[in-house]
Structure 1
């Protein structure tokens, strides 16, 4: 066996931080791998994929692909290579210290997530984005909203207009909307957003409603926020506090015959939807907190945070308005809405709202893909929400698909996720640009991040 090949295999299994940074000009080669290209539902068997300087430079049958003698070779026989996934409703700590931000970025990377959209940003996130792009911090491709627009921060239309201008000038990628906006403040924010070309993403305020949000041209509506309310008869007679989070208390009375009109409106305005179904299936499910007490994901969260999550879960199931039947109806109507979006041509994007109650960064994204299949999507369709759909949304024509010339943001899996979506969790390594992060490296990094 050639010395270069031995060295390549050794480095693939024992890469250190210096190796990861210094791979930019060296070919990294995946041999005998099964490729899931994602531009179509297929598996290209026994392929060799060559990567250099953050690009896929060659792809084809193993017998036909050449590569340099000093390449780092990864023997991927029997494994599956897929584009890296995107988490489009992520949260990164909005603090002045980069250290906890780096930890969260690693949780995402270790789970195969190569792009994230941070949904509650501050000025430090602009610095973080810059350092990630320059390669000074190891992390997924990073997009960020600015400080949120909410009923607490925006009291007047004038202030809404001013904050849009401030965030556009600062260089944020999107505007994050939280609840509490009004029929006075929201139109001013929406108008200025359109004029300056910076998209609104996130929540739909109760007093605005999803129909006005659609008319205003949200870039993405997250959480299916406002959807249940839009299809519930008599909603105009209810106060916000009577409806529950995302309509949890009223979903049992939703009228499914109203769903097609909602889907049609979303489609016509080309509004993307980030379901964050993991919130409904975990926090807002009919199950008690005890059902999640031994969840292995929780070891990456501080004990006090886990305690807060368990209290929030107990508070939900202990609410006077809670019944098991109504909680089941809420989960099920959301599944119907997700499937209707998929079938109606409304582009879904992968997102889980982590860290959030019972949703740990990175790990929750795998839960989300599973929940999308429970809603009726095929595994391929679920994978599309985190690959080609996001590439289309971000207008990144060189992303989301494995083909020559595209960005080399990749995940190597031990099993085929097209047959079993849970295989997304069985990660053998991650490529982020020019850096190969083998399983041994990822496991060592995860071990450092355990809090319990």
Structure 2
């Protein structure tokens, strides 16, 4: 099952709102009459004029207090809502030599308001991709790149693990991606060397390492809640890895919620960020059948073969003798409790859904993820923070994550207020990424070109 998880990455391939793509570093772009959700606290600042120039917010205030140049592109945003762009911190970009399919995935992310991604299965061409995004040669979200996978196949010895760390740091990757299969011998060498050279390691917690060692080793982020179920399930330390299932799916029904506070306290005290990727559990590992997801509108952007693979993976999971609908539902519920406990006890959550992956289409899946966080007990505001303010803090980008004068102009214009209904994140009227304004018309035309079915 875990090998399947690693391999199933797909290659995906008005007034002013009627504009297609506006890209100009000198011309002002003005949002007039817009309701601003600044994300500095839970509030809406109504009827604002927001001016963007050369990738920065240069002015914000009521119409009388903000001057608008005669050559500005003025977007009538009356009644609409402006929010910072979101992040997908567990994104996947095809790990291949061809950049063209990578550009298609980037387009799907941008079309859904995602202005920052962290790629989670690296490839040398990703360094070139990152450079071309930064230079403006390729249109895409801000891209943070992990290197090729550290796992049981690529790291056979402690020495090789240490060498890989140094190689990837020298190559210029932003993070190291850890996958299953690391051991009590190889993982410490990776962690120690990463700390020596100054590069964070992120992703999975190997079964033979366990979450407590991962916490003590100061992971940069732990993704998928990996190892959490095992940590709160009595007797899990007596089991072999196949007996626990992917992310503890076969033992979650026996998890002891009274053990959650100890785990959450350790995460908080060691400043471990958590990327839940709850969409993976609520879709692939849930008791719902495959046909609950296969007819979703966003599946038109998935190749037929990939859809067959996803459906097969879902059926394989449900056909396993260890599976039952009751136990699968308990897995979903205990994960929700873990997410809620993290939020309420000072563990910083980062927004990520793991796409492309089983029934998670790039970009679209982040809206599912936000809904699932609300279902876990977060407020819409807390949920929006996971993809804005928290990410800016994690990346140490002091000029990002909120809307204020001087900050970067990574913005999403929405038809409705997501603070009242998190589902409004889907109702995108346009996206601003740096100096580029992507209108609703442009987004729709771009998406049409990306349809696979």
Give the TM-score of the pair, scaled to structure 1. 0.97
Q: Is the contact between residue 30 and residue 74 of structure 2 (CA under 8 Å) also seen in structure 1?
A: yes
Distance 1:138 1:293 in 2: 29
Partner residue of 1:97? 98
Equivalent residue runs for 1:43-442 within 5 Å: 43-442=44-443
Cα drift, residue 438 of structure 1: 0.3
Partner residue of 1:4? none
Distance 1:291 1:84 in 2: 29
Q: Is the contact between residue 33 and residue 79 of structure 1 (CA under 8 Å) also seen in structure 2?
A: yes
Provide the secondary structure at the position in 2 that maps to 1:428.
Answer: strand
Q: Is the contact between residue 12 and residue 73 of structure 1 (CA under 8 Å) also seen in structure 2?
A: no
Give the TM-score of the pair, scaled to structure 2. 0.96
Distance 1:177 1:354 in 2: 17
Q: Is the contact between residue 16 and residue 76 of structure 2 (CA under 8 Å) also seen in structure 1?
A: no
Partner residue of 1:13? 18
Q: Is the contact between residue 90 and residue 352 of structure 1 (CA under 8 Å) also seen in structure 2?
A: yes
Cα drift, residue 347 of structure 1: 0.1
* Structure 1 unaligned regions, length at least 5: 1-8
Indicate the RMSD between aligned Cα atoms, in angstroms.
0.7
Q: Is the contact between residue 301 and residue 361 of structure 2 (CA under 8 Å) also seen in structure 1?
A: yes
* Structure 2 unaligned regions, length at least 5: 1-13
Deviation beyond 4 Å, 4+ runs, structure 1: none
Distance 1:45 1:441 in 2: 27
Cα drift, residue 212 of structure 1: 0.0
Cα drift, residue 11 of structure 1: 4.8
Cα drift, residue 63 of structure 1: 2.3
Cα drift, residue 41 of structure 1: 0.2
Cα drift, residue 196 of structure 1: 0.8
Distance 1:422 1:307 in 2: 28
Distance 1:294 1:170 in 2: 42
Provide the secondary structure at the position in 2 that maps to 1:309.
Answer: helix
Distance 2:171 2:40 in 1: 36
